[in-house]
Structure 1
């Protein structure tokens, strides 16, 4: 079970990692065999499936994102704790609202991520 404190700590650390643009700190939140789903994968021409299935490819994708959006800054609005998941609701690139669902492993890292953006 994800506690309120765990959800708050994960959300704060995740947002801070992105806002620092430190790729290694960002990647600390993900398992090696992560499944990452996002419509931005297609938008950034990374692949046509919209899914990344390992941390090595996720690193390449995040590098692309950080280069494409050099002024990237996320603003946390809220987080939600679930049984084995956390949802982070924030303002993303180009001021788009986003909610990401992080299904966590026993080690507290994301093993499955579902990114959802407001149109």
Structure 2
């Protein structure tokens, strides 16, 4: 799953990226606090996530991810990767029964 997710981002293939997410997904990120102007920094629902990712991909045409490691848990994965723009990141992803991502907590290394 993590390899396909990274490859979808590297191709900037919005539909392939979104195929990994549940309709009711929630993504929380420090970057989202700035983009959304909301201190909670949470994107709720697949339509909102589509808009969030579409804007991010348009703003960063050279964005690439390098997968460094994947950690598995009970109904979850932690994806450790290098973002060509923001540096090292870890995304903790909770997975639904169908394997789609239902919740994401994005972590960035402090600058």
Q: Does TM, scored on the shorter chain, surpass 0.5?
A: yes
Determine which structure has the larger strand proportion and give its number. Answer: 2
1:89 aligns with 2:80: yes
Aligned to 1:5: none
TM-score between the two structures when normalised by the length of structure 2: 0.94
Aligned to 1:3: none
1:50 aligns with 2:50: no
Aligned to 2:107: 116
Distance of 1:60 and 1:93 partners within structure 2: 21
Determine which structure has the larger helix proportion and give its number. Answer: 1
Q: How does 1:16-95 map to 2 (within 5 A)?
A: 16-43=7-34, 45-48=35-38, 49-95=40-86
Distance of 2:52 and 2:37 partners within structure 1: 10
- CA distance change for structure 1 residues 38 and 95 in 2, over 3 Å: closer, same or farther? closer
Distance of 2:66 and 2:98 partners within structure 1: 26
Cα pair 1:41 1:51 within 8 Å, conserved? yes
Shift of 1:40: 1.2
Cα root mean square deviation, aligned: 1.0
Residues 14-62 of structure 1 show CA distances to partners (whole Å, capped at 9, x for unaligned) of: 000100100000000000000111111123x234130011000000000
Distance of 2:16 and 2:84 partners within structure 1: 19
